[in-house]
Amino acid sequence: MSHPFTDLAIAQHARPAPIEEIGARLGIPKEALLPYGTGSAKLRWPFLKSLRDRPKGRLVLVTAITPTPAGEGKTTTAIGLADALRRLGQKSAVCLREPSIGPIFGRKGAATGAGWAQVVPREEINLEFTGDFGAVGLAHNLLSALLDNHFYQGNELHLDPSRLQWKRVVDINDRALRQIVVGLDGHRGPVRRDGFEIIAASEVMAILCLARNFTDLRTRLSEIRIGARVGDGSVTAGDLGAAGAMAAVLRHAFLPNLAQTLEQVPAFIHGGPFANIAHGCSSVVSVEAALSLADWVVTEAGFGSDLGGEKFVDIFCRQSGLRPAAAVIVATIRALKFHGGLPLDALDREDFGALESGMANLRRHVRILRDLLGLPVVIAWNRFASDTDAELRCVEQGARSIGVPSAECRHWAEGGAGAEELGRKLLEMAADPAPFRFLYDEETPLWEKIVTVAEKVYGAGEVRAKPSVRRALVQMEEEGFGHLPVCFAKTQYSFSADPRLRGAPEGHSLPVREVRLASGARYVLALCGEILTMPGLPSEPSSLRIDIDEDGRVVGVL
């Protein structure tokens, strides 16, 4: 599965269609597009409003087994599947999250697919795109500035500087900014501790992706809780009068972005909340638009079915009313061997013992989606060059033993043609309505929701939390937020809170160190273990291998 071109070179040698032509394939008139360059455009709001009463297509959720450092190719598979569905005569589209600059310049690299299953224009999408991340950061930091200005002007709302929960954001992995001190200019206002989070962790980003319209957007922004008053009560962005200006900053960022795959299938790329911190799905407005325009819409949820898939159902689907018809679990033979105990540098060799041990991880993900959430499941075996036919027969037999269809996928090397088997099995599986269900009821107390997810999804034997965490949950319930879903922030590399614990661990202890009320996004965030909302850079960041040539074209590993 090698190719002389890099992913970037393949994308740069592609011949994309004009964005107006891509829109026309879905019945989007030229005047409904707000072009950004020649390869992408936003959809204008009047056109989006006109779609509300149209019949909806069918939604497919692409998720994966527990991620490994070897990479599983979830985004690549989502793109390849959308391409394959079009080749099979279906009117298809793909909905993806926008890449965050932080991971691109850090460890993860580009987030636009790979090989012959990519979305383009690759460089623009990965590097700022239509400016949505910048707008989210500006809206967030505007609220931060208004907060500190409120202190400077006399603190009429009696904000307690020791109980603020609103930080600042930037879209670079910069661990030095996790903890800072502000107010050192010697003027009025408290000297206090503050910090930065990455933009993808901002509640503003989550709100952008969950709001249904501009009115809902502004309402949610006004509901953001920034801290507590001295004595009792809380202060919101609405109390500071910030919601209107924040919404104005986001007026263009709220509009979905249209791009295309290498095979000219329409691609909606919008919003970028992290799944290991936030809810990890693309925007409601982009998915709703795609479903009004296409017969089949492929979307992905971040990381595995535990972090991404469960949140997609219990947060995204609860708030949007959308329901997936089926789910695809992306798995690789290399990843199964890693979860079976092999070291990273030994994944290219045959080891059927490790492969069988690693199947426990796949079985857990099937159970989450099929047995807990009621979704028909198809497994996509993303084929790598080192995979042998004997290994493929082994994992296919393992899938049959748990009653799940699977398909070998070669979309990296062959584009949509390499995912046609997956597409056919998906169409067959999704022929009947899914017995879709949520993991828990809205009326379930918040602590019980956390325990339910921890035990049923993550296999925990106990959930540990300080009394302060339990008190905070009780206070949220007393204030009327007990109906909200819970959103776990934890490592993506394990079902446990320990990224070194591979496979499908059972009976472990899951520590919840902090809970936060995201009242505008309308969920309760449970931070587990050592997860951080501001990542750091590795010893050799990807940014060291990205450059431009004499004509300003991006070169390197992007």
Last residue of a domain, one of 249, 279, 296: 249
Instruction: Please report the pLDDT score of residue 140 as a whole number.
Output: 98
Tell me which residue range forms the domain holding 88: 7-130+253-429
Query: Which of left, alpha, beta for 175 (phi over 0: left; psi -120 to 50: alpha)?
Result: alpha
**Residue 89 resides in a domain:** yes
Number of structural domains (the chain) is: 3
State yes or no: is 381 an active-site residue. no
Which listed residue (42, 58, 86, 97) is catalytic? 97
Encoding tokens for residue 172? 């670079």
Same domain for 298 and 420?
yes
Last residue of a domain, one of 429, 458, 493: 429
Same domain for 309 and 400?
yes
Which listed residue (268, 412, 447, 481) is catalytic? 412
- Residues 124 and 121: their CA atoms lie apart, in Å, by 6
**Residue 259 resides in a domain:** yes
540 burial via Cβ count (<10 Å: 0-12, 13-18, 19+):
exposed
**Residue 288 resides in a domain:** yes
Same domain for 213 and 257?
no
State yes or no: is 303 an active-site residue. yes
Same domain for 241 and 297?
no
Give strand ranges (E) for 467-540.
Answer: 486-489, 508-518, 523-528
Which listed residue (93, 200, 242, 275) is catalytic? 275
Instruction: Please report the pLDDT score of residue 403 as a whole number.
Output: 96
**CATH (domain of 141):** 3.30.1510.10
State yes or no: is 220 an active-site residue. no
Same domain for 196 and 274?
no
Which listed residue (66, 68, 75, 76) is catalytic? 76
**CATH (domain of 373):** 3.40.50.300
**Residue 551 resides in a domain:** no
Same domain for 277 and 419?
yes
Last residue of a domain, one of 230, 249, 268: 249
Could you tell me if 431 and 479 are in contact, meaning their C-beta atoms sit under 8 angstroms apart? Answer: no
Which listed residue (56, 107, 108, 456) is catalytic? 108
Strand order in the sheet with 508-518: 460-465, 508-518, 523-528, 486-489
pTM above 0.85, yes or no: yes
Same domain for 335 and 347?
yes
**Residue 539 resides in a domain:** no
Same domain for 284 and 416?
yes
Same domain for 175 and 202?
yes
Instruction: Please report the pLDDT score of residue 5 as a whole number.
Output: 60
Same domain for 224 and 258?
no
Same domain for 75 and 160?
no
Which listed residue (74, 168, 220, 383) is catalytic? 74
**CATH (domain of 467):** 3.10.410.10
Residue type, 362: L
Same domain for 380 and 311?
yes
Instruction: Please report the pLDDT score of residue 545 as a whole number.
Output: 87
Which listed residue (384, 447, 481, 488) is catalytic? 384
Instruction: Please report the pLDDT score of residue 290 as a whole number.
Output: 98
Residues of the chain with pLDDT under 50: 1-4
